[in-house]
Amino acid sequence: MSAPESRTTAAPRPAPRWAREAKPTPEQEDFGPADGAVRRRLYRIIFQHDTRSGLAFDLCLIVAIVASVLIAMIDSVAPLHARHGHVFYALEWGFTIAFTAEYAIRLWIVRSPLRYARSFYGVIDLLAIIPTYASLLLAGSQYLLVVRILRILRVFRLLRLVRFLHEARQLTTALRGSARKIMVFVFAMLAIVTVFGALMYLVEGPEHGFHNIPLSMYWAIVTVATVGYGDIAPGTTLGRLLSSMLILIGYGMIAVPTGIYTAELASSLRARSHEDARRCRQCALAGHEADAHFCRNCGTELDPADGHRDLH
């Protein structure tokens, strides 16, 4: 799984596909530490995940995030809020102060604080602490407190440190590879939803709950995706016939995104297992077919035992 790291090439040639995709993406945080030993050490702990203390920090952060999100959830339950509201309030301030300190330190230790503050996770980090302060200043800002739930997104950053990194990348690579096909599909679906929404508005009308076309389109989405709340349901025979058609379309169309994604994932898995296959002694190109006798890049005869070296 993690074998490919050592694949540095002897001869100049384009990096293999997976390596090109491993280039730091906008989501990856690599701002570089500011100068100074303390800041460098803190950077290593807070932004990187390869040391013992870095790992411990990450674990604490996950626990704090999940705990603060759970408290925000529980706090929304009226009876619990009435009885334990002050405890939740105190805990919430504790977490907010801790996260504020963490945010300040992050700003302090990166080489370019502005770049960090404007990065995706920099914004999320800020959004995680603003609502609590805002609730002091603004009336009616208890709604803002729900924004604290967005803190859960901060956990995604830490996902990278654990062993799921590789799995997550495979999934998102396949998603990205199939993104355009899925957009075509989503567009076709929206057109179907629009047409059926308009037809049902005509056929059923306000007396059966289809008050206007946007509402009918909401019903059409609920139907085509096989959710079917039943808050709006057809009441006429023609409406039921149209519904049945839309349902069959939705039931059949679920095959399309599944097919797209499965085919993409299967082919990316195949490509990867390919990458791990035999390597040329001369030019270090890997991925030779099982029945190849000569390197497809430089023509050198392949060592039949060569395929093993990668794996041991």
Check residue 140 and give left, alpha or beta (phi > 0: left; psi -120 to 50: alpha). left
Beta bridge partners of 294: 301
Q: Among the candidate windows 38-46, 86-94, 123-131, 207-215, which touches its own copies by CB under 8 A?
A: 207-215
Cα distance between residue 195 and residue 205, in whole Å: 15
Does 8 help bind its own copies (rule: CB under 8 A)? yes
Q: Among the candidate windows 29-37, 39-47, 116-124, 227-235, which touches its own copies by CB under 8 A?
A: 227-235
Q: Which of 49, 124, 202, 236 binds its own copies (CB under 8 A)?
A: 202
Q: Which of 38, 56, 59, 73 binds its own copies (CB under 8 A)?
A: 73
Determine the residue type at 67.
A
Q: Other C-beta atoms within 10 Å of 297: how many? A: 15
Q: Among the candidate windows 8-16, 32-40, 105-113, 122-130, which touches its own copies by CB under 8 A?
A: 8-16
Q: Which of 25, 51, 112, 212 binds its own copies (CB under 8 A)?
A: 212
Considering the complex, state which of residue 104 and residue 175 has its C-beta at the smaller distance from its own copies.
175
Half-sphere exposure of 260 (CA within 13 A, CB side): 16
Contacts 24+ apart (CB under 8 A), 227-232: 232/208
Helices (H) and strands (E) in the chain, counts: 15, 0
Site string for its own copies, 101-140 (x = CB under 8 A): ----------------------------------------
Cα distance between residue 268 and residue 135, in whole Å: 48
Q: Other C-beta atoms within 10 Å of 311: how many? A: 7
Per the CB < 8 A criterion, the answer to whether 279 and 310 are in contact is: yes
- Shortest Å distance, C-beta 159 to its own copies: 7
Considering the complex, state which of residue 101 and residue 168 has its C-beta at the smaller distance from its own copies.
168
Q: Which of residues 237-266 bind its own copies (CB under 8 A)?
A: 237, 240-241, 243-244, 247-248, 250-252, 254-266
- Kindly tell me the burial class for residue 52, based on how many C-beta atoms sit within 10 Å of its own C-beta (0-12, 13-18, 19 or more): exposed
How many of the chain's residues bind its own copies (CB under 8 A)?
124
- Residue the block writes with tokens 């602490």: 129
Considering the complex, state which of residue 93 and residue 294 has its C-beta at the smaller distance from its own copies.
294
Does 182 help bind its own copies (rule: CB under 8 A)? yes
Considering the complex, state which of residue 66 and residue 107 has its C-beta at the smaller distance from its own copies.
66
- Shortest Å distance, C-beta 118 to its own copies: 22
Beta bridge partners of 110: 33
- Shortest Å distance, C-beta 119 to its own copies: 19
Does 198 help bind its own copies (rule: CB under 8 A)? yes
Q: Which of 34, 64, 233, 236 binds its own copies (CB under 8 A)?
A: 233
